[in-house]
Chains A and B, each alone.
Chain A
Amino acid sequence: MFKNHIKIAWRNLIKRKVFTSINILGLAIGFGSSVLIYLFLSHHLSFDSFHENGDRIYRAVTEEHRDYIDHEASVPPAFAKVFRENYQYAEKVAKIANWEEYQINVDDGNNQNAFKEDVVFAESDFFDIMTFPLVVDTGTRTLAEPNTAYINEDMAKKMYGTLDVLGKTFLFDNKETIEVIGVLKNSPKTSLITEGIFISFPTLEKFNDFSGLETWSGISTDLQCFALLHPNQNIAEIENVLLELPKEHRPNSKNRHEYKLQPLADIHFNPDYGGVNPGLLWIFAIIGLFLIVIASINFINISTAQAFYRSKEIGIRKVLGSFRQHLFWQFLSETFVISLFAIALGVVLAILFLPSFNALFELELTAESLLDYRFFAFMVLVLVLVSFLSGSYPGLLMSRIVPVLALKGKLNHNDTGGSTTRKVLVVVQFAISIILIVATVIISKQIDYAINSDLGFNKDSIVMVGIPEEKDVVQLESLKDQIQRIPGVTHVSNCLTSPGGSINSLGTSFKYSNRPEYEEFSIELKPMDEDYLETFDIPLVAGRVFFKRDSVTEVLVNEKVREKLGVNSAEELLGKQIEANGGYIKATIVGVVANFHDIDFTEEISPILMAYEPRWFDEIAVKIDARSTSNILAQIEEKWSGLFGGYIYEPRFLDNRVAEQYEAEQRYLSLSKVFSALAILIGCLGLYGLILFFVGQRTKEIGIRKVLGSNVANILALFSMDFFKLILIAGVFATPIAWYLMEQWLQGYTYRTEIHWWIFALAMVSIMVVTLVTISYQTLKVAMTSPVKSLRTE
């Protein structure tokens, strides 16, 4: 019987080629997308799952309680030692520090190259906690020794062109010579730590870096502290005990710390501590489901619409002794055959589009994971699900057909049923498309708003050049002076970093005037010189710019500081004494600047303290005449290399850096663009199938209408109005859903665009246009046929 079902199914599919292709293509696109989404999700779910003792690995993190709670995926540098030595919870505790984009120079005679690389400073116990196995090592030496490093296989090849690298050296940050004492196996791509160079932690002391100190005074985001706990520990209990640490070590701080232990499995999925937002993964999963639902709807609509043409067959079968369940299973097997083809085509499509998908979302997914048994199980599940989802309703409908009527040809289209269901399903399809279009428009509006609205400073035509090494004031001033004299350069300022799109930040505590206590809020410190405001077009609202002195005696603050302090006018701040950075800065406020967006639009503008402190300068901001950019950049390089010979020159445009803050949003945008396009495409396929059917059904009606004097436009309107009504109904349902979802998304932004009514109108109108285009070919074809023909065929 089953063989017979498949045989009939096959012949039916061959006979109705157009409908079959529409069904298969639509489902294949749905399946293909779900394959890509499967790869994407399994990529995320497999993160950090390769560590042997993964269930006992924890990261120590901090909740900072100020006027609001902040989360840091780090702890004060002294935490690790105390947790290791004073408590019995952990087998091993180790800290690491991540440094991004530092210069590596390799010179082993035949090989000379310099490049920038992310590195990790790691305590030797780190390799007893995480599973990063060594493939070559000296056996006796460990990362407890300063100036030693492990590198992984890829890095060994990149640096030296060989795996035989023990004893070879490289120059780090133009300062320290580091010896390679071990080669690590390449870690899986799905790892929290993907760097290829692990320098011994003691080396960090030579850089006089905060993370290398044994201090409780603050937190550096560079630092992470991991622990391998003994089995069966009560985490809540440990966290409770750790509450005593800040009381003992930071008794006076307004920034009240609470240390938490974060399980390894949580790290990749906890956005509070820098993980991906699981919401994003859900969105992906739901969109995949949407696409399959849309494709299944096509299938249901086309099959039920076709039921009429198959009613005779059904009647005969019933007379010959078929029961309803026979017919039901017959149609299900047809659906199964279609789904099988669609799935095969879908997998092929997915593999073809994998590279573009990877490029779009900056992933490195491979088709290899498709050979996994889990993928096979997933596919079988989807196949069965889709077959049932899209086959059972038409099957049910058709098996109900009354044979006597069917055989006499007395059935009309309404008797085969499903026309209401079809309308409902088309409305669902339209609604999904409208929601996706609205999402696309709003996300792009928000990005546009964030990038193009007034940030409070000018980001155009500004080049940021690094200060890779601490130099004394005179040298920096002289370089600034040389750059200033390049034709086309209008302003130059030495500073820690740009106002927004910053490369680093310095948060610190702050004490105002004669208030007895430090303020509860933290203030953002922006070291800069006197030309900063002019370079970035930041207006002063009161007072003046500071005069350059050897020590910090005069500072500027922004309007936000005034708001936070509860002071009414900017003038009132002038002349007041402040204290910051634990008393290191004691100075007078001489000016107040307007607020500018120092962080992206998800965050409130920070209170800012500006001071002249050349020792903290990391960048030179150069405002240039945009007309001869490359020439100017080359000239800056020439001057810059005079002072920083041996370092890699990497000028960056500030507007790009600001735009990069919204990379996640850009990705959401690509996502919603791609998937709304797919949803619309699948929907159109379905519409095309439906219109083909409607036109066939109403050929006679069209003929009569034409005889009575109707023209082609009237007939096109007749058919499109049916669909436009459905689109309007879909709009009614989609609008509140889309509005709610996008409002939720925009809640994440402190500074945000508005949701206007015209976005919904736009979405509906564009769906209408697409619908019109889809249906016009078939409609016009029939509308232009001579009525003599269409009436005769009846």
Chain B
Amino acid sequence: MLLQLKNIFKWVNSGGQRIFLLKDINLNVHEGEFISVMGPSGSGKSTLLNVIGMLDAFDEGEYQFLDESVHDLREKNRANLYKEYIGFVFQSYHLLDDLTVKENLEMPLLYKKVKGPERKAMVADMLDRFNIVGKKDLFPAQLSGGQQQLVGIARALISSPKLILADEPTGNLNSKQGEEIMELFKQLNQEGVTIIQVTHSEKNAAYGSRTINLLDGRMV
């Protein structure tokens, strides 16, 4: 078991009313799964992803990640946990505009204090694997959307995470680019990486091994 969510609730108080963002979520994820999360806008897909990614807190319930109780951890330990095991891919790529492709890839390794020569080797490896060696000195603004997302995925993968969380990874791409990215995810999943993606498209959801549907913060 990679992670387990038990009776997760998340809410905000607005105008004296409690609005539920997540309601009684129970979810078990095993290593090697490829899960697609679907649902209309505002149904809580991204919130769920952020909770799983430990970027966002929840108000009630239990969260076990690799036998650690996430709800009992302090912020710093939580950060250490996701730094070690989770990679993030975003709809709008979120590359650092001031850094080149190579430097963007290097960033997570710097925060993990990986030594210089090893870092260089890992970056070179990743550039090679994604076939973007020729783009390594370009800045994000000089790349197409598909290429930027490629870099985004490469960056998420560079620290060899067990889990990749992808929030509408193809949302800003045209269909051809989107297909390529989904193929890449499929391939990564076959190599053993667990993936949870949020998507609007039935077609993309089909790449996954399991689909979860959300409506108003509740799993249906």
Interface residues of A (CB under 8 A from B): 1, 4, 7-8, 11-12, 15, 312-313, 315-317, 319-323, 326, 403-404, 407-408
Contact = CB atoms under 8 A, between A and B. Distances in A.
A320 to B, nearest CB: 5
A404 B94 CA distance: 12
Given A4-B110, A319-B88, A321-B108, A404 B79 contact: no
Contacts of A320: 88, 107-108, 111, 155
A56 to B, nearest CB: 60
B110 A407 contact: no
B79 A15 contact: no
Contacts of B83: 321
A322 B111 CA distance: 6
Given A312-B94, A313-B98, A323 B107 contact: no
Nearest to B94: A316
Nearest to B106: A4
- Enumerate the 3 nearest inter-chain pairs by beta-carbon distance, A residue then B residue, closest first: A321-B83, A321-B111, A11-B98
B50 interface: yes
A8 B155 contact: no
Contact of A404 (B55, B82, B95, B108): B55
A321 B98 contact: no
Interface in B72-128: 76, 79, 82-83, 88, 90, 94-99, 103, 106-108, 110-113
Nearest to A15: B98
Contacts of A315: 94
A407 B90 contact: yes
A323 B55 contact: no
A316 B111 contact: no
A8 B99 contact: yes
Contacts of A408: 46
23 contacts: A1-B113, A4-B106, A7-B103, A15-B98, A312-B94, A313-B96, A315-B94, A317-B107, A319-B53, A320-B88, A320-B107, A320-B108, A320-B111, A321-B82, A321-B111, A321-B159, A323-B76, A326-B111, A403-B55, A404-B50, A404-B55, A407-B90, A408-B46
A377 B31 CA distance: 58
B56 interface: yes
B96 A321 contact: no
Contacts of B79: 321, 323
A313 B96 CA distance: 6
Interface in B158-186: 159
Given A403-B55, A407-B90, 7 more contacts: A4-B103, A319-B53, A319-B88, A320-B108, A321-B159, A404-B55, A404-B56
A12 B96 contact: no
Contacts of B159: 321
Contacts of B97: 313
A407 B94 contact: yes
A128 B99 CA distance: 70
Contacts of A321: 79, 82-83, 108, 111-112, 159
A316 B151 CA distance: 14
Nearest to B90: A407
A7 B83 CA distance: 23
A321 B53 CA distance: 12
B87 to A, nearest CB: 9
A312 B113 CA distance: 23
A689 to B, nearest CB: 20
Given A312-B94, A313-B98, A319-B55, A1 B50 contact: no
Interface of B: 46, 50, 53, 55-56, 76, 79, 82-83, 88, 90, 94-99, 103, 106-108, 110-113, 155, 159
A675 B206 CA distance: 72
Contact of A8 (B76, B98, B111): B98
A7 B96 CA distance: 13
A408 B111 CA distance: 23
A443 B4 CA distance: 76
A783 to B, nearest CB: 30
A407 B106 CA distance: 20
Contacts of B98: 8, 11-12, 15, 313
Given A321-B111, A321-B112, A316 B96 contact: yes
A102 to B, nearest CB: 72
Contacts of B108: 320-321
Contacts of B112: 321
Contacts of B94: 312, 315-316, 319, 407
B121 to A, nearest CB: 17
Nearest to B79: A323
A320 B104 CA distance: 10
B135 to A, nearest CB: 18
Contacts of A316: 94-96
Nearest to A320: B108
Contacts of A1: 110, 113
A468 B130 CA distance: 99
A322 B106 CA distance: 13
B12 to A, nearest CB: 13
A658 to B, nearest CB: 65
Contacts of B90: 407
Contacts of A319: 53, 55, 88, 94
A324 to B, nearest CB: 9
Nearest to B99: A8
A12 B98 CA distance: 7
A12 B108 CA distance: 20
Contacts of B110: 1, 4
A408 B110 CA distance: 24
Contacts of A403: 55
Most buried by B among A12, A321, A323, A404: A321
Nearest to A8: B98
A8 B139 CA distance: 13
A1 B110 CA distance: 6
Contacts of B76: 323
A312 B111 CA distance: 17
B171 to A, nearest CB: 13
Contacts of B96: 313, 316-317
A326 B80 CA distance: 14
Find the residue from B79, B82, B113, B159 having the highest chain A CB count within 10 A: B79
Contacts of B95: 316
A323 B99 CA distance: 19
Nearest to B47: A404
A445 B136 CA distance: 68
B50 to A, nearest CB: 5
Contacts of B82: 321
Q: Which of A315, A317, A319 has the most CB of B within 10 A?
A: A319
A123 B56 CA distance: 87
A327 to B, nearest CB: 10
A11 B53 CA distance: 30
A269 to B, nearest CB: 53
Contacts of A8: 98-99
A225 to B, nearest CB: 71
Contacts of B107: 317, 320
A404 B55 CA distance: 6
A189 B191 CA distance: 81
B179 to A, nearest CB: 25
A98 B88 CA distance: 84
A404 B48 CA distance: 12
Nearest to A322: B111
Contacts of A323: 76, 79, 111
A404 B99 CA distance: 21
Nearest to A1: B110
Contacts of A313: 96-98
A635 B127 CA distance: 97
Nearest to A325: B76
A7 B107 CA distance: 13
A663 to B, nearest CB: 56
Contacts of A322: 111
B32 to A, nearest CB: 24
Contacts of B46: 408
B144 to A, nearest CB: 20
